[in-house]
Amino acid sequence: MVAKRVVPKNKASVVKNIAYEPQVIERKWQAKWEKDKLYRSVIDNSKPKHYALTMLPYTSGDLHFGHWYPMAPSDARARFKRMNGYNVLFPIGFDAFGLPAENAAIKRGIHPKTWTYKNIDNMRRQLKTMGNMFDWSREAITADPEYYRWTEWFFIQLFKQGLAYRKMSAVDWCPSCNTTLAREQVVGENRVCERCGTPVIKKDLEQWFFKATKYADELLNFDEIDWPERVKTLQTNWIGRSEGASVIFKTEAGEPIEIFTTRPDTLWGATFMVFAPEHPLVDKVTTPQQKAAIEAYKAQAARQSDIERESADKEKTGVFTGGYAINPVNNERIPIWIADYVLMSYGTGAIMAVPAHDERDFAFARKYNLPIIPVIQPVGTSHDSPLQAAYVGAGVMVNSGPFNGTRVNTEKGRKNPGISAVIDWLAQQGIGKEAVNYRYRDWLISRQRYWGAPIPMIYCDKHGWTPVPEDQLPVLLPDDVEWKPTGESPLKLHPTWKNTTCPVCGEHAVRETDTMDTFMCSSWYHLRYLSPHYDKAPFDPKEYDYWMPVDTYTGGIEHANMHLLYTRFFHKALRDAGIVEGNEPMMQLRNQGIILGEDNEKMSKSRGNVVAPDELVGQFGADALRTYLMFAYRWQEGGPWNSQGIDGTARWLRRVWTLFTDHTPAGAASDETKKNLRRRVHQTLKRVTRDFENFEFNTIISSLMELLNEMYKAREAGAAGSPEWNEASEIYLKMLAPVAPHIAEELWTNQLGKTYSIHQQSWPKVDEDAAKEDMIELPVQVNGKVRDRIVVPAEASEDEIKSAALASENVKKFLEGKEPKKIIVAQKRLVSVVV
C-alpha cells in the first residue's frame, strides 16, 4: 500500500526519494557536535547531575564488540538522562598500562609507550564512530605521567594509613607473564593466570600488599548501593566470612598454638591436631624419631602443585610429628600430625581435628586409626555403634563435660545455641574467644614488570622503606629499558634508575623496581575524569563536590571480584584518609552480557568467529549497529551474534527515514484515526520511558518499531499534516534520539526543520488522558478457556461487563445452559465464568 503512494511518477516523488546514507550523515553530525562542543559537561548547579560511567577500555588497539556492547546502550541511557533534565557527565579514557604493551616490545621491538599511544589513537578514532556523547575534554590515560603521578601519590597515602605493607609469603606467580599476581587474578579450578591462561605456581617472595582485609566486613555491606544480586553474591562468596571461635592449645614442646574453628561445640571431640606442612611450629613439635618422616613429607608437599594438593577427592595423607598438644577443654593429650589438606593460607594453618563431626577429619582418622569420639548425638538416638561417617547434623551435645545435653542445630555462628554457649564459656575460661575468619586475602600489588606505575618507595639500609617525597612525584618510568622476560623487573636491570638517596638521611638508597598492578590505576579513574589535567591534587574538589558519586556504572561482571571489589576497597581507604567522602564510589551498577560468535562460542581470532564492528559500521552505519545491539538481546544476558539480524534494524531505520523524508500531503483522517494515533504515541512514550530507566533496551526498540508501523497505517488513513501527526513525529524522533542519535538529528533538524540539536531537547511528557483507552476488549473464559472476546467502554461497570459477557453467543454455547457459579471480572483485563 505504501509502495503505491510512492508510485506516482511526478516530480514530487523524485524529490522525496532521498537515499538514507548513514555513513554520510553520521560523519557530518559527529563533526558538527564536536565543533559545537555539544557534549562538554560543565558544572551547573541549577540542574541535578548524573554521572554515567562505563568501564574504560584497555588499549589493545582494536575496538570490538566487548566495547560496543556495553558502551552504545550506556550512551543511549546517558542521553535519555540528559533529555530528562540532568546535567550528564559521560566520560571516557584508556587503561593504558599492562603486559601486552611489554609483550609487543619483547616480540616486535616496539617501545611499550609507542605501541600504547598508537593504539589509543586508533581506538579513539573508532570510539568516535560510535557517536557517543563522550566528553572528550575529560579523557584520561592511565599511562600519562600526569595520571600516574597520582596513582603513586595514592600508594603513599595508603602507606601512610598503614594500609600498604611488605610481606614475605608464598605468592602466586605466572611463569608466562613473569610476575606475581593477586589472589583474584588466579582463576578457575586449574588456577590459571587471569590474563594469559597459564597455570600459576607458588614462589616465596617479599611483596607489597594492600590491607584490603581490614575492610572485609564493610565490603560485605551493600545497603547503600543498587548493585545486581549476582555481583553481591560473588563478592560475598569471595570474601568468604565464617564465624566461630579461636582456641589456644598448649603443646608439650612449649609453644602454644592458636586454631580457628567454626564448630567450637565439638571441641570435646577433638582427638588430634593437624598442622599445614609449612607451619613454622612443625619443627618445634617434631620428635627426633619422627624427623626424617616429617622432612620427607614436607619435601613432597612442597613439590606438589596447588591443583594436586587442593583436589578434594585425593586421598588424605599425613605424618605424625611425635609431638602432643593438650585439648584445653578436657586436658586430653592429643597427637599432632601434619597433612597437606590443611592449608597454610587459611586461618592459622593449623586445625583441631574432630573426626566424628567433620568429613575430612573422619577420613583421616579412619586411615591412620585415630580415635573418633562422638560429641553430638542426633535427637532421639542413643545407640553406641561406631560412626560410619562424620555426623554433621543437629543434635544434643554429649561427652562434653559441662555442656552435656545442650542443643545444637545446623545454624552457623551465634545463631546456633550450642556454639554460642561454648564461645561464651571459652572466653570466661580464658582459653578462647569469638572469632571471624575470611577467605579474602590482602591485595598483592607488586608486579615484576616495566609498563606500570612505579611503586614510589625507597629502601635505605639504615632507614628501611620510605616513600618518595610527594614533591618529587611522579617517579617517572625511564624510556631506555631492556625488556627481557627474565622474571626480574626490567627497572632492576636499568644501570642507573634505581639509584637514589634516602629521603631521611640522604645516603645512597635504592628505588623499588617493581611496578603496581594495573588494577590500582583503574581503582580511581572515575576520579581523574573529573579534572584530568588538574595538577594540585588527583582531582579538583569543586568537580568532585558536584559530580561524585558515580550514579550509574556499566560494564562486565567478569570483574566482580577484581576491579569492582578493588575500587570499593580503594574508595573506603581514601575515605579513611580523608580524601573522599561517602562509603561507596558507584551507586548503581548494571552488567551487560557477552556477545558470542555465530557459532555460540566466545569470539576469538583462533576460532575465526570474530565479527568486526568497524565493518558493520561501514556497511550499515553506527545507528543500525547501536540499535541492533540494543534490540537483539536482553542486554544483561547477551548471546550469539546473528549476521542476518542486523538487517532488521537497518530496515527499520530505512523505514523511519522513508516516513520522515516522504512529504505526504495532508489528508483528511477521521477523528478516531487521529485519536488512536495520539493514544499509541503516548502509550509508547510511557513504555519507552520506563524501559530506559530499567535498562530494557530490547523493548525500547520493539516499541518504536510498533509505533512506526502504526504511523504508517495512520498516514494511509490520511493523518499526515494533522496536529496529532506532527506531535507524533516530534515525539517519535525524540524517543529515537538516544538510541540512533545521527538519523534522529538529521530528520529533526533537516527534515522537520526543528531547532538544532535534538540532543538538547527535553524528553516529552506523557499525556495520561491521551494514553487511556476508550473501548477495551476483554477475553471471556468459560472454565479457564477463552471462548469469546467482548468490547466494552473502558469505564463500564463490573455488572455491565458481566452482562455483556453472558450475552455472548459463544459463551452461552459453552455454558450449555448451566448457571454460572461465579463470574470474575479481573482488573478489567479478562472475564472468567465458572460453571
Partner RNA sequence: GCCGAAGUGGCGGAACAGGCAGACGCGCACGACUCAAAAUCGUGUUCCUUCGGGAUUGAGGGUUCGAUUCCCUCCUUCGGCACCA
Range in contact with RNA (rule: CB under 7 A) among 36-44, 340-348, 450-458, 672-680: 340-348
Containing H/E element for 511? strand 508-511
Q: Can residue 351 be called a binding residue for RNA (CB under 7 A)? A: yes
Tell me phi and psi for residue 210, to 5 degrees.
-105, 140
The C-alpha atoms of residue 522 and residue 122 are separated, in whole angstroms, by 21
Range in contact with RNA (rule: CB under 7 A) among 51-59, 261-269, 667-675, 725-733: 261-269
Quick one: how many helices (H) and strands (E) in the chain?
29, 34
CB of 781 to RNA, least distance (A): 6
Q: Can residue 634 be called a binding residue for RNA (CB under 7 A)? A: yes
Q: Which of 648, 667, 721, 820 binds RNA (CB under 7 A)?
A: 648
Range in contact with RNA (rule: CB under 7 A) among 401-409, 536-544, 609-617, 645-653: 645-653
**Strand, helix or coil at 276?**
coil
Range in contact with RNA (rule: CB under 7 A) among 86-94, 425-433, 615-623, 649-657: 649-657
The C-alpha atoms of residue 478 and residue 492 are separated, in whole angstroms, by 11
CB of 348 to RNA, least distance (A): 7
Q: Can residue 785 be called a binding residue for RNA (CB under 7 A)? A: yes
| Alpha carbon 526 to chain centroid, angstroms | 15
Q: Can residue 827 be called a binding residue for RNA (CB under 7 A)? A: yes
564493610: which residue's cell? 218
Complex with RNA: residue 31 or 786, whichever CB lies closer:
786
Complex with RNA: residue 148 or 238, whichever CB lies closer:
238
Complex with RNA: residue 537 or 786, whichever CB lies closer:
786
Range in contact with RNA (rule: CB under 7 A) among 160-168, 201-209, 338-346, 480-488: 338-346
Within residues 131-190, the interface with RNA by CB under 7 A covers 187-189
**Strand, helix or coil at 394?**
coil
Q: Which of 147, 153, 173, 260 binds RNA (CB under 7 A)?
A: 260
**Cα Rg of the chain (Å, integer):** 34
Residue 735, all three cell numbers: 524517543
Complex with RNA: residue 205 or 344, whichever CB lies closer:
344
Complex with RNA: residue 507 or 774, whichever CB lies closer:
774
Q: Which of 233, 429, 486, 670 binds RNA (CB under 7 A)?
A: 233
CB of 575 to RNA, least distance (A): 27
- Using N-to-C axis directions, what is the helix angle for 645-661 and 723-736, rounded to 10°? 140
Complex with RNA: residue 131 or 638, whichever CB lies closer:
638
CB of 512 to RNA, least distance (A): 29
CB of 77 to RNA, least distance (A): 15
Number of residues that make up the chain? 835
Q: Which of 106, 110, 220, 234 binds RNA (CB under 7 A)?
A: 234
CB of 16 to RNA, least distance (A): 13
Complex with RNA: residue 120 or 805, whichever CB lies closer:
805
Complex with RNA: residue 141 or 182, whichever CB lies closer:
182
The C-alpha atoms of residue 588 and residue 317 are separated, in whole angstroms, by 48
Q: Which of 346, 368, 465, 534 binds RNA (CB under 7 A)?
A: 346
Question: b vs e for 86-108, b when ≥16 Cβ sit within 10 Å of the residue's Cβ?
Answer: bbbbbbbbbbbbbbbbbbbbbee
The C-alpha atoms of residue 240 and residue 234 are separated, in whole angstroms, by 10
Q: Which of 402, 464, 541, 639 binds RNA (CB under 7 A)?
A: 639
Question: b vs e for 603-612, b when ≥16 Cβ sit within 10 Å of the residue's Cβ?
Answer: beeeeebeee
Within residues 676-715, the interface with RNA by CB under 7 A covers 690-691, 694, 696, 698-699, 701-702, 705-706, 709, 712
Within residues 8-67, the interface with RNA by CB under 7 A covers none
How distant, in Å, are the alpha carbons of 70, 139, 451, 484 from that of 96?
19, 12, 9, 20
Complex with RNA: residue 10 or 45, whichever CB lies closer:
10
Range in contact with RNA (rule: CB under 7 A) among 117-125, 211-219, 563-571, 826-834: 826-834
Cβ neighbourhood burial of 536 (10 Å; 0-12, 13-18, 19+): exposed
Instruction: Calculate the dihedral angle through the C-alpha atoms of 223, 220, 587, 34, rounding to the nearest 10 degrees.
Output: -170
Q: Can residue 262 be called a binding residue for RNA (CB under 7 A)? A: yes
The C-alpha atoms of residue 378 and residue 394 are separated, in whole angstroms, by 6
Complex with RNA: residue 108 or 821, whichever CB lies closer:
821
**Strand, helix or coil at 84?**
coil
CB of 13 to RNA, least distance (A): 13
One-letter amino acid of 444: L
Within residues 793-822, the interface with RNA by CB under 7 A covers 810, 822
Pairing status of strand 186-187 against strand 407-408: unpaired
Containing H/E element for 744? helix 741-746
One-letter amino acid of 630: M
Containing H/E element for 187? strand 186-187
CB of 793 to RNA, least distance (A): 15
The C-alpha atoms of residue 103 and residue 100 are separated, in whole angstroms, by 5
Q: Which of 238, 297, 569, 657 binds RNA (CB under 7 A)?
A: 238
Q: Can residue 503 be called a binding residue for RNA (CB under 7 A)? A: no
The C-alpha atoms of residue 243 and residue 261 are separated, in whole angstroms, by 8
Complex with RNA: residue 664 or 832, whichever CB lies closer:
832
Q: Can residue 640 be called a binding residue for RNA (CB under 7 A)? A: yes
